[in-house]
Amino acid sequence: MSILELRTEKERTLFTISLVISCLFWAGLILGTLGLGLMYVAVGAGVVLMSQAMFLAALRGNGVRITKDQLPDLYARIERAASRLQLEKVPEAYLLNDRGFFNAFATRFWGRDFVVLYTELLEACDEEDGSIDFIIGHELGHLALGHLKFAPLLLPSRAIPLLGPAYSRACEYSSDRAGTVAAQRPEAAVRGLLVLAAGGRYAKQINVEAFLEQRLETGNFWSGVVELGRSHPYLPKRVGALLADTRPEVAVPAVERNPMAYVAAPFFGAGAVGASAMALVMVVGMGAAIAIPSFIRYKEASAAAAGRFDLPEALSDSVPNEEPIGEMKAEELEALTKALEAAAQQAAVEAEKEGAQLEQAPAALPNEWPTQEVRPAAQEPEKVVKAKRTKVKKVKAPRAPKKPKAAAEEVLY
């Protein structure tokens, strides 16, 4: 059996939808920003990788690496589970005591797979009932099914309310199947989920049938609102799904969720959907901030490179009732030319007449008050009396009106 057959039908469907949406987003980001948007994506990826590298550095400094020489029994479980789930290489595993943190997870960094197991969770499990093998197999299932490999590609769709959490919950159901394969016993898988629900001390005392009945209460309005915003399904529903897969004879009725929960979940979900909506707004806002200015600059650069500006169209748009100048008829152009030539000739004739009148005007004026010198008698030669000169005012002839210019203006307009 191929490990990919462990994927639930719901995960396959949601994966296809998420892949299409994410590819459209990345294509729009690249084409709409001419590749500049990838710079911001690279910055964000760098921040994520830096934080992940710091976490792994702290993990290696405080955790215990599980190897053949260090915790060999636990390493043998991990090695056996990796073989059953068809992993090519045993991932690097660590045991970490984080002050009662009750969890385990898998991660990926630069193509390397890691598994982190918390001490409190393993101590709560029985070493003989297979619950430890289920928990290890569940985390290795995320690696074997490619949930972490495709996570960067599906990042845009994970920010969409309802869709992102729904795909994450579907992945958890598939990983539960992988944990069951690793443990080789369905009851071990159920026991491991009960440990997560009640802890090691009370897990063995839980009535499984009564626990399954709690599933029916998860279909109400508020339970649906909370679950639709979570990345993990409710534990009673996970137990019911495992029993439905491994024990067909056990009747596990489906739980119908209140339809109004889908409407309210994006606003009142358990914080996850609200964060997803905020992340979606940030992604869209960043894309718009990058794409719109880039598109405007690209449009302006294209127009400048083309160097095309249709003047007749601009004139016809602004003055729709007048014909463009470029479309004047030949007859109208010839008449206008003749009128301008006639006006120029008339202006030249009038200018010659005006010049002739100005030349004749000074000669026609009599010199009635000449300047003359009066000499006295002979006995007084030393005294010379000069008569006073009287200024003669020249009268200019009136200028003729400039009719040629007015005539030319009449023709033009």
For residues 84 and 130, what is the distance between their CA atoms, to the nearest angstrom? 15
For residues 156 and 280, what is the distance between their CA atoms, to the nearest angstrom? 8
The one-character DSSP state at 376 is -
For residues 309 and 303, what is the distance between their CA atoms, to the nearest angstrom? 9
Contact 186, 180 (CB under 8 A): yes
H helices of 63-130, where?
72-84, 119-124
Q: What's the pLDDT score for residue 251?
A: 77
For residues 104 and 134, what is the distance between their CA atoms, to the nearest angstrom? 11
Q: What's the pLDDT score for residue 10?
A: 95
Q: What's the pLDDT score for residue 163?
A: 96
Lookup: tokens for 255: 């739980």
Beta pairing partners, 92 = 114
For the chain, the straight-line distance linking the first and the last C-alpha, in angstroms and rounded, comes to 95
Q: How far is CA 283 from CA 27, 147, 157, 273, in A?
A: 14, 22, 11, 15
Which phi and psi angles does 381 have, rounded to 5°?
A: -75, -25
Q: What's the pLDDT score for residue 214?
A: 93
The one-character DSSP state at 64 is E
Which phi and psi angles does 104 have, rounded to 5°?
A: -155, 150
Contact 159, 280 (CB under 8 A): yes
Q: What's the pLDDT score for residue 289?
A: 54
Q: Which is nearest to 190 in space by CA: 174, 201, 206?
A: 206
Q: What's the pLDDT score for residue 311?
A: 43
DSSP letter string over 115-156?
EEEEHHHHHHS-TTTTHHHHHHHHHHHHHHTTTTTSTTTTHH
Enumerate residues 6+ apart whose C-beta is below 8 A from 410. Answer: none
Q: What's the pLDDT score for residue 83?
A: 95
For residues 303 and 360, what is the distance between their CA atoms, to the nearest angstrom? 66
Q: What's the pLDDT score for residue 106?
A: 92
Give the max Cα distance, the chain: 172
Q: What's the pLDDT score for residue 400?
A: 52
Lookup: tokens for 317: 């748009």
Q: What's the pLDDT score for residue 363?
A: 47
For residues 266 and 109, what is the distance between their CA atoms, to the nearest angstrom? 31
Q: Which is nearest to 182 in space by CA: 150, 138, 146, 125?
A: 138
For residues 237 and 230, what is the distance between their CA atoms, to the nearest angstrom? 13
Walking along the chain (413 residues) 10 residues at a time, the average pLDDT comes out as 89 97 92 84 88 90 94 96 94 88 88 92 92 96 94 93 96 96 92 93 91 92 94 95 87 88 85 49 55 65 61 45 53 77 80 66 48 50 50 52 46 40
For residues 157 and 168, what is the distance between their CA atoms, to the nearest angstrom? 11
Length of the chain: 413
For residues 278 and 229, what is the distance between their CA atoms, to the nearest angstrom? 13
Q: What's the pLDDT score for residue 226?
A: 94
Helix (H, G, I), strand (E, B) or coil at 303: helix
Contact 182, 81 (CB under 8 A): yes
For residues 67 and 79, what is the distance between their CA atoms, to the nearest angstrom? 10
